[in-house]
Amino acid sequence: MCVGCRKRASVGELLRVVATDGQVVVDERRRLPGRGAWLHPEPGCLTKAERRRAFPRALRSSGTLDVTVVRRYLGRTAD
CB 21, min distance to Zn ion, A: 25
CA 6/CA 62 separation, integer angstroms:
21
Residue 19 vs 48, nearer CB to Zn ion: 48
CB-CB contact of 76 with 47 (8 Å): no
CB 7, min distance to Zn ion, A: 6
Distances (CA, A) of 10 to 21, 38, 61, 63: 28, 10, 25, 29
Site of interaction with Zn ion (CB under 5 A): 2, 4-5, 40, 45
Residue 2 vs 58, nearer CB to Zn ion: 2
Residue 33 vs 36, nearer CB to Zn ion: 36
